[in-house]
Amino acid sequence: MLITFSKEYSAVISYPVAYKNIQQDKLLQEAPIKQIDIAIKASGFKLLGSKFTNKTIYLESSILQRKSNSKFYLLVKNQFTKIQKQLHSGIELQEILQDTIYLNLGLLTSKKVALKPNLDIKYQIGYDLLGDIKVVPDSIVISGPEDQIKKLVHLNLQRIKLNNLKENFSQNTNIIQPSKYKNLKFTTLKAIVSGKVERFTEGNLTIPFKINNLPEGVNLTTLSKKVEVVFVVALSNFAKVSKTSFTVECDFKISEKNNLSYLIPKVITQPDFIKSVKIVPLKIDFLIQK
């Protein structure tokens, strides 16, 4: 047996391969082949050892030939000497059976993408959200192939479900990674979603209204000179609301254009912290005096 294994033999062995020095501005979009078959010549002992050591062959990938927009290839036979140097001593490389290896590469780019919360919140009666939902961070930088990155407008966050809510909340959630896009890199995979919750109340004020775009020489008589503004506001902001907080106007041109015998009052200005507002009545009858 010793005599047999000391003799030289030729054999074809599959070696695992890895790709080094791919250009920094490019990224593999698909996994290339993971092994190559090479014909070697060595003693029986060396051949036996090669089958069990599973040595990885590194292929130089800094210089590639382009076949199409994203398809590149390298000629393995041009790396004959480099591969020989990576084999164990006493193993002679005779032939590389794979002539060409194709690599699907995309241009690596980065983009800042907004995070979109997904909320299912039911508030306790009389309570509601005060202000806007806050997401920290509100956006992240993602990196990946250019053709994938440019299609992304935002990233969704995992759903947050809260019931009977009556106090401020802050929840950790994960960023949902798009399944149809591969090889994307994220600066973070988590975010914090929070919001302020407060008790709301309803109030009402009687506000005089103004009539705009009244033709010269035309006088209008309305049954009322004021309207009631009904608003919903957080309890903490209720004292900030006064008659000067609202401006109500009627545009005569709208009534004239649509041949209406009434004016339509609208709230033109109001505080930012008002949750909702409505006017009573919705129509104001008028008579024209010329």
Helix, coil or strand: residue 168: coil
User: At the topology level of CATH, where does 200-289 sit?
Assistant: RNA Polymerase Alpha Subunit; Chain A, domain 2 (2.170.120)
**More confident site: 230 or 106:** 230
The domain limits of the chain are: 2-107, 121-199, 200-289
144-195 pLDDT, tens digit each: 887 788 888 899 999 999 999 999 999 999 999 988 877 788 989 999 999 9
Cα separation, 242 vs 10, whole angstroms: 96
CA dihedral (250, 256, 258, 262) in degrees, to 10, reads: 50
User: At the topology level of CATH, where does 2-107 sit?
Assistant: RNA Polymerase Alpha Subunit; Chain A, domain 2 (2.170.120)
Cβ pair 12, 47 in contact under 8 A = no
Question: How much is the pLDDT for 30?
Answer: 76
Q: Do domains 2-107 and 200-289 have the same CATH topology?
A: yes
196-233 pLDDT, tens digit each: 999 999 999 999 999 999 888 788 888 889 999 999 99
Cα separation, 166 vs 201, whole angstroms: 14
Percent of the chain at pLDDT > 90 equals 52
Question: How much is the pLDDT for 90?
Answer: 81
Copy the structure tokens of residue 42.
Answer: 């060595």
Residue 91's nearest CA partner among 143, 157, 35, 45 is 45
Cα separation, 267 vs 250, whole angstroms: 9
Question: What type of residue sits at position 216?
Answer: E
pTM value is 0.63
> What is the longest distance spanned by two Cα atoms in the chain?
127
237-257 pLDDT, tens digit each: 999 999 999 999 999 999 999
